[in-house]
Chains A and B, each alone.
Chain A
Amino acid sequence: MKLNELTITEAAEGIRKKNFTVTELVLDCLRAIKEKNSELHAYLEVFDDALDEAKKADEILGAANHEERIKLPPLFGIPLAIKDNILIEGKRCTAGSKILENYVANYNATVIRKLKKQGAIFLGKANLDEFAMGSSTENSAYVSTKNPNDISRIPGGSSGGSAAAVAANLCVAALGSDTGGSIRQPASFCGIVGLKPTYGAVSRHGLIAMASSLDQIGPLAKSVEDAAILFDAIKGKDDFDSTAVKDNYKLPTINYKLNGVRVGIPKEYFGKGLESEVKRVIENAVGKMEQAGAIIKEISLPHSEYALPTYYIVVPSEVSANLARFDGIRYGVSAVTSHQLSISNLYDVYAKSRAFGFGAEVKRRIMLGTYTLSAGYYDAYYVKAQKVRRLIRQDFEHALDAVDIIAGPTTPTPAFHLGERADDPLQMYLADIYTVAVNLAGVPAISIPAGCVEREGKKLPVGLQFIGKWFEEEKLLGIAKETEKIIKLH
């Protein structure tokens, strides 16, 4: 087995037992990247200092005795891919946009500072839809990432680069961000685990903001246990993000019994639009949970059908405000220094820098948000959406009073072909139909591989989504881990 194929748990054990060095682990990852990235385009940039960092880690290991090695943090020496909307000091951060083509971060995101403190190693920056706006990674201004299960298909998005890197073993694990499904949906399409933590569980300081009332950073990993290790490393209160509030988490539960666990199946997630084969895979997985003693109950989330329209008012509104900072004046690409663009006044600097730097989906969302926030339309669109958002949150409050966890498909279909939905924004938005409500409500959710469907001779993964109560990641991860075990057994 090549070392890049290991999970965090396996790699951490191997390093501590001196079965292999961190340098060997990183070298195997770099070899895999060299071999496959030109085809998959999971990474936008691969760092040239990863090997130096690995050597430093090996020096620390060499000087440590057995007890000291055991006590090292769980992510010590673990090579990770980081979505390119998360700042690493001294490294470029493009957010997949031309407007930040040459932008170099001046500070570390809180999650990066925490991972560095553990001794994790960053291999490079993973591709994404521009400013995390998209469901296929085709909106990246640089390149489209391919799905490792079938390179004629998209990996999902917006954390498509992170998901493809994990699925193709171009790293051990990765970080992504999830505003409406951007971790869970690509995890589902690529056949890996993706966790969107509770809103307020992880600091977004140093994450390039898309929609601030929804954005959350989370792990993409090869196992639920790995996702738990990464989540444990990045969570917690932060003075630099006042929404990051929770500090007293216990370690994610390792052994959780499915016996007696109440699983809610929302009937709205199994209706029109869900492909029958995907449905069969999910029902099969739920059936296995039942055999293991879980109590399956049909529940209702009555406002489900309004989640997507609510999302497409709330998100563009927040986008139009958040992306006002890209003005061609303080950083990023500017019409001022471009020889192709002629400017005569300050207005031109704004309007031409933004026209040149932003791609089609970003412009579309800024325009839509500007409209829904503008005088005369604010109440009809934005306030209306916020009211429906409360009803959506209440749906989850009621449902999660009666069950421990909600289960359903992560996406209505497996990964689609490159270009298949690129010209129709509304078709593209439908890929997130089961994931956006979770962000609107702020609850945590995870996607784990449930099985595969066959298309054109290729096996395409299907993701099972679990949704838990606010700040109950321990339970969510515990149930997901047990389910992962029984799905693998069969």
Chain B
Amino acid sequence: MSINIKDVQHIAHLARIELTPEEETKFEKELSAILGFVEKLNEVDTENVQPLTGGTLLENVMRKDEQIDNDLQGKEAALLDAAPEKERGYVRVKAVFE
């Protein structure tokens, strides 16, 4: 299946990556080629096959509902320090609603 430039622009919007016009053209070609390649999977009969949704067959891994030592404890200041903009102990962001 091939995709067009409009699809590329839509995907880039969903992925929150601003593309240059050159990148849009390049990705149109490359993504179409890769999608063509993976189409090979349609040859496989997967009727009655359950999807394997992870790397393990385990479903739930339980632990006691107790506080465990976290290796980030006491490092709040350092974590905040990594943010580009902060104010009074908070990460500062642009307005969510305009």
Binding site for B on A (CB under 8 A): 103-104, 106-108, 113, 199-200, 212-214, 239-240, 242-243, 245, 303, 305-306, 308-310, 312-313, 320, 324, 327-332, 334, 336-337, 343, 345-352, 354-355, 358, 363-364, 366-368, 370-371, 374, 381, 383-391, 393, 425-426, 439, 442
Contacts and interface: CB of A to CB of B under 8 A. Distances in A.
A337 B14 contact: no
A346 B96 contact: yes
B38 A309 contact: yes
A384 B91 CA distance: 40
Contacts of A442: 55-56
A367 B41 contact: no
Interface string B51-91: 11111101001010000100110010011001111000001
A239 B63 contact: yes
A63 B19 CA distance: 61
A337 B93 CA distance: 12
B83 A371 contact: no
Interface string B21-36: 0010001001101110
A239 B98 CA distance: 41
A113 to B, nearest CB: 8
16 contacts: A200-B56, A212-B55, A213-B55, A309-B37, A313-B38, A313-B41, A329-B84, A329-B93, A332-B82, A363-B17, A367-B8, A370-B14, A371-B35, A384-B42, A384-B46, A387-B44
Nearest to A327: B16
Contact of B83 (A243, A313, A330, A355): A330
A352 B20 CA distance: 11
Given A106-B75, A358-B17, A349 B82 contact: no
Contact of B15 (A312, A345, A366): A366
Contacts of B37: 308-309, 312, 426
Contact of A106 (B42, B51, B63, B82): B82
A329 B83 contact: yes
A345 B95 contact: yes
A249 B72 CA distance: 29
Contact of A355 (B18, B49, B68, B93): B18
A245 B93 contact: no
Chain B interface residue bracket vs A:
35 or more
A374 B56 contact: no
Interface of B: 3, 7-8, 11-12, 14-19, 23, 27, 30-31, 33-35, 37-44, 46, 49-56, 58, 61, 63, 68, 71-72, 75, 78-79, 82-85, 91, 93-96, 98
A400 to B, nearest CB: 15
Given A312-B37, A331-B83, A351 B16 contact: yes
A367 B27 CA distance: 9
Contacts, number: 167
A312 B39 CA distance: 11
B88 to A, nearest CB: 17
A107 B14 contact: no
B38 A354 contact: no
Given A199-B55, A245-B58, A355-B19, A306 B79 contact: no
**Pairs of residues from A and B, 8 with the lowest C-beta to C-beta distance, nearest first:** A386-B51, A331-B82, A387-B46, A334-B84, A390-B52, A350-B16, A355-B18, A199-B55
B82 A107 contact: no
A390 B83 contact: no
A199 B56 CA distance: 7
B31 A367 contact: yes
B95 A383 contact: no
B30 A425 contact: yes
A343 B58 CA distance: 45
Given A329-B84, A374-B11, A106 B18 contact: no
Given A107-B75, A312-B34, A367-B11, A351 B68 contact: no
A393 B52 contact: yes
Contacts of B72: 106-107
B49 A391 contact: yes
Given A329-B93, A367-B15, 13 more contacts: A106-B78, A107-B71, A213-B53, A213-B55, A239-B68, A243-B56, A309-B37, A330-B82, A334-B85, A363-B17, A425-B34, A426-B34, A439-B55
Nearest to A243: B56
A332 B49 CA distance: 41
Given A106-B82, A245-B58, A310-B41, A383 B16 contact: no
Contacts of A346: 93-96
B21 to A, nearest CB: 13
A90 to B, nearest CB: 10
